Structure 1
Amino acid sequence: MNDTRADRPLQIAVTIDDFVLWDGVPAVDDVSPTDTTRSVAKTLNEYGLTGTYGFSHTYRLDNEPEHMAAFDAWAEAGHHLGNHTHQHAPLRWMSDDAFRNDFEIAEKYIGHLIEAAPSKYFRYPMDMSSGSERRRGEVEEYIGARGYRNAPITSWFSDFAFIVPYFRAVTLGDKEFQAQIRNLHVSTAVDMLYRHADTARTLFGADAPLIWLVHGTPISRDTLAPIFEAFLERGVEFVTLDEAMKHPMNFGMPPCAESFTNHLQRFALAAGIPKPELDLEQLGEIINFAPIPGIDTMSTYEEGLFKPLAKRVGAEYDWDWS
């Protein structure tokens, strides 16, 4: 991956989503969510990133209460929790009452840990706040009345796409494949950070503090340190979520969009400029890496995660990857 843009110092607030991964997504056999959470939390602490906010849905606690240990381990390591709803379903798939109920179920599980944080944050599942300005406004009023602020995502690198390929590489036992995809994970993180930074600079006339997302996955556990090293080599400064939230890019609200887009990408769409995203060739390289018959990346997500989720919340399956 050739990044021709000049590296420059940037400020980013690191956030971690879904360290208890969604049911239906394959996991490396010897890695539990609690193991991954402890490892990610330890790496954050080693780089001075104490007090990092994590946003993890709570649905798996219904049937697998042992995963509460991951939430506890996150807090015990000195990090903070926000509300990410219970089932991790997009707002547009749920009625107003159902969405609020989902929010409150998550509070029942981890509200005591959320209350221990210096600020109360909420993150929409997939950072998707519906195609309806009215409905999003009502949600914003609802969470505001409960003392929360929306913590959006203004930089990501589609790291969810690496979960199944990394599982395949580990399953195959091919050390070279595993090293290759870890290196790709790191280089993609760097590349997409600067693509988002360039977009923010175009939109706002100067660099803005980015709220950066990575999921708590086995591959993140194994690559977070080299990602941070690559960032630091380029002059990245880590800031707190509270500090990043002072910038209007992060507390302002772009128009809603139906597609799978983050907060900054929606600002770009509204301004009529290209949104920062992986091109199809890059995405294809990732999702097709280390193939195993019967374990297709996109089919795994659609059949194992999104379609069952839609059925569970009583929604027609409707997903726009663009």
Structure 2
Amino acid sequence: MANFTYLLITISLFLDLMTVHPSTARPTTFLQDFYITWSESHIKQMENGTAIQLQLDPTSGCGFASKNKYLFGHISMKIKLIPGDSAGTVTAFYLNSNTNEIRDELDFEFLGNRSGQPYTVQTNVFARGKGNREQRMNLWFDPAAEFHTYSVLWNQHHIVFFIDSVPIRVFKNIESKGVPYVNSQSMGIYSTLWNADDWATRGGLEKIDWSKAPFYTYYKDFDIDGCTVPGPPSCTNKTNNWWAAPPYQQLDPIQSRKYRWARLNHMIYDYCTDKTRNPVPPPECLAGI
């Protein structure tokens, strides 16, 4: 039964590749939408500026950020992670409001591992300063063998984290139940490659093997389709945008099946079920998100 379910997911992934979401985002070069935030010497543009290479070595990691901030939209990047022994490294792709104690943030963090072990993706949601909502999954493919698409759909109804076309996490807007939601602050888009061997792999037990350095992560197809802040008049009415339309306000039946499959087969940690940290499940967990 598990193999049959995996076959259905694989077929569905193929069909999704044949379908284009109604994005109006233009293909961009790196410098059109981003700037380097630290260690410029460790970021190399490739393919006429449509792809970049990030480098981590004993001297430094590196990072970049979007020139604009956004309030709602669809953001995606194709990323190819560090091959082989990547223990202790973290590649992060996230949105952040940069507002300190009341920050909003949506995180993809890819936690490296020893050769032959699966990569772990950690997601987190900060809403008005409240975070500690970590969930982790082992990836079901080799993310260093080829590029995969990592996306965030963010509207007034929910936030969905996607890997390729598989939704791996949904955070619903249930402000009516007293749970803060990410809907009042614009956020920039960031990415970093850095040394996190004090916690990233097996809680910090596995350290970076610097004899394997330098380490490289690759990005391409920067797709940002969101409302810039300050933005055009069309963004004042948030229902005008495709990502806020009714089909995108909840998972459709195929997405729901993929979501259940991913979480049932690949989730290895969920703050909602961590009795040590949360003897009483947080309210968003009781709402099934």
Taking structure 2 as the reference length, what is the TM-score of the superposition? 0.31
Q: Is the strand fraction higher in 1 or 2?
A: 2
